[in-house]
A and B are shown apart, each in its own frame.
Chain A
């Protein structure tokens, strides 16, 4: 996509009086030893009083650089090489400051930064200093910008902590960030940014690192505070769902340029620029028709004819050098039978706790009575928030860990279900071949010192499959299957983008022709358009190679797009299992409902109902209403409500049902 005309709506009034920030022709350059890179190129937009403007773009589009330019915290290598950023502080009417002209480290800029324009960041885990108490860090901001004493600063900080929803603000002042959960940390961060009552809040992906229910709470908080403190918000995000629910106006950035800007409603209903259109088409949403596909910016057309599909009916290979066992597409009749079944699995971990003389052991229940079945040819989606135990479950299935109790059955070569739990490493080897894994982090999961060729063929070497010729042909074929140019085989992972690396990971998982593929958040580190590309690829592969997936994700929309059946997991338990349509049409469990209510749709007709968002943790089993409560008194089991729809609840006509 080269230079396309910018779409600017004409109903944009450049009203001098009401604007808090007006950016015109902003240019930011990074000066590197061997070249200059223009990260932001002639960007212009405005932020009105008490308005929320969303800056939308994918990673590398320059949106964060714009926010850094506004805050005056650009990295040393970056310089503002042109344009203006006129800041009109409503507190001192009539004054205009050009932020672009100020010395980044000077006193004038420092007075505005943190005082009149504040910022919150994406990573609540690392944005606060672990060595200082929350109170210390917030009071510091107060005392920096207001002439108040220590006690008064503490009071102001406590007030603000109360406002952002800390139950006991006085106590919270004395806590350290690492004692708080991610959601509370982000609230502390918001309190710190807002304690000086700024005119403009710059929020850089404020909820991207949070769970979906916590995200909804945080978004509501920002909205509430915005009207309470009469401030404007510049929301930087890649999530169109957040934009649809938060922003009055939006600015779409691509490659450091504004490609479209206007009122959110106009842009969503009638996207003018090709890039905006494709961005909107790439987001999975809930009311997609059966068979409707996402439209990524660039579609991958897998080429499927060869070793992967090639297999005669009696299961013997017709290719010289190919191995005998052709598990992948070799089944026909057995479709629909269970490939994997996990039965009543428990797993707990010991938490170290210091006490007198050695350690007191405390157990943390990571998984409790988890049962699920994956049938051949289907995609089971496993949804849950961070810490709910979904990764632990996947590790148990891979036998990276052993469960405390319960059994894991897998259909092996013989066609019989085999108990994996008690097998030793040698006995496990044939099963390891049949279960393959695709990881979340496309950067960490590929060895940077191996070429793509080595990476993809390594599993075959480990399991000693085929001869060199077969392996070479398989690798070539897999590259085409995942839509990568075979000429890239001798390159190293660093020369690929995140999406391409993830495709290499998929190729590696496919090379053993596994029966079951486990995906652990395969797209959560990727941009929307790349995510759409990968999801479509996975869908095509599944249909054409008749693969079986266990797809783990926190993103309901993604699971909705790819899965046939969905299991919802919370606090180490499966709380609801249902076919895809049934779960979204008729969620029974309060946690599933909370989850569904909290997802921001990239759709103006389905706004988030902020009144339905429960404060506190929706994931606490004790606070679920009867008959769903789980505590010392009641321990509900899975109950079948309709065909394939199971819910964990206590029923008088109790009957345990095998899942």
Chain B
């Protein structure tokens, strides 16, 4: 088990390295850089640009260096916790990002939690009472959740919250807290605002998770070992929880790594629509303006989230399933 853990951790290092290279190259791929975009913008507004100033800026930002030098500067900085400098905001990336990163993490984590808590009991119910009215009902709701685009749901929710209750559910906190320091009141306000985006972002994930759990559990329920457990004289409830449910958990857990990036990217549009102070909208604008260090930091954050999520799900799987734990040493 320890070897497994160690090997799994070691594998993450080259993975993250390759991702960082990929991220950097992809950001650089469009022609030009932040300065050319900036120049075009100024020229289109009819302003004169001093070439000397441009050259100076280029040198200042290191944009005149070859790409690999830029990459290593950036990667070296990342390793030391220095995320680089945002051209657009003229501030270090860490300051630009600020609370957004934490708020994003809170939002995404809550969403994942929401997906699991809601889909688990419903999935079990749907599988054990296949083709009942309840199953059909949840199936219908699930398909609605899958079919409806998130941002549309967000708009609908915003509209009705305003019209019916007269409140605004946009944002992640009440306006007076936006630039205030963290306090109990601010935390409370965040918690109060959190439900709407969590609901909006989590719906489709919940729906697909219910479908998956239902299908897995249905598969397991018809397996021979379930009959064996019944033949032992176990009560139906205990049979369900001890045997097939545990088997059906495997894909459920294996999904942790998948669901994180899905939720994160799914939340970008919703964040724009609901004007949430998360990383999403900022990532979008930084990609548009080729603010490469800012964009790179966001993308690396996403990658780290995925890789760590995968790691966590692998550990959980190995802990749950002895067949994975004893991998390779088995004589079939």
Contacts and interface: CB of A to CB of B under 8 A. Distances in A.
Do A and B come together as binding partners?
yes
Interface of A: 71, 73, 105, 107, 110-115, 118-119, 121, 123, 126-132, 140-141, 144-145, 176, 178-179, 189, 192-193, 351-357, 359
A354 B327 contact: yes
A176 B322 contact: yes
B233 A113 contact: yes
Nearest to A355: B3
A140 B242 CA distance: 11
Contact of A131 (B227, B322, B330, B332): B322
B243 A73 contact: no
Interface string B220-244: 0001110111111111100000110
Contacts of A110: 233-235
A115 B236 contact: no
Nearest to B327: A354
18 contacts: A71-B231, A73-B230, A107-B235, A110-B234, A110-B235, A114-B232, A126-B223, A126-B224, A129-B229, A129-B247, A131-B246, A131-B247, A140-B232, A144-B233, A192-B228, A353-B328, A354-B7, A354-B327
B330 A179 contact: yes
B69 to A, nearest CB: 32
B326 interface: yes
B225 A129 contact: yes
B132 to A, nearest CB: 12
Most chain A CB atoms below 10 A, which of B3, B224, B332: B224
A123 B224 contact: yes
A105 B320 CA distance: 29
Size class of the contact patch on chain B: 20 to 34
Contacts of B323: 130-131, 176, 178
A189 B3 CA distance: 33
A107 B126 CA distance: 25
Given A130-B322, A178-B330, A140 B234 contact: yes
A126 B330 CA distance: 16
A114 B239 CA distance: 13
B321 interface: yes
Interface string B289-332: 00000000000000000000000000000001111001111101
Contacts, number: 95
B4 interface: yes
Nearest to B227: A73
B328 to A, nearest CB: 4
Contacts of A179: 326, 330
A73 B232 CA distance: 10
Given A126-B225, A127-B225, A111 B326 contact: no
A384 B320 CA distance: 37
A118 B230 CA distance: 11
Contacts of B327: 354
Contacts of B224: 121, 123, 126-127
Counting from the closest, the 5 A-B pairs by CB-CB distance are A114-B233, A114-B232, A354-B328, A126-B224, A110-B233
Contacts of A189: 228
A194 B31 CA distance: 76
Contacts of B4: 354
Most chain A CB atoms below 10 A, which of B3, B232, B332: B232
Given A131-B243, A144-B233, A178-B323, 20 more contacts: A73-B231, A105-B236, A110-B234, A110-B235, A115-B233, A121-B224, A126-B224, A127-B224, A128-B225, A128-B228, A129-B228, A129-B243, A130-B323, A141-B233, A179-B326, A179-B330, A192-B232, A352-B328, A353-B329, A357-B7
Interface in B140-178: none
A123 B222 CA distance: 14
A140 B223 CA distance: 19
Contacts of B242: 132, 140
Nearest to B226: A129
Contacts of B246: 129, 131
B231 A131 contact: no
B283 to A, nearest CB: 37
B231 A118 contact: yes
A107 B224 CA distance: 22
Contacts of B234: 110, 114, 140, 144
Contacts of A357: 7
Contacts of B3: 354-356
Nearest to A133: B322
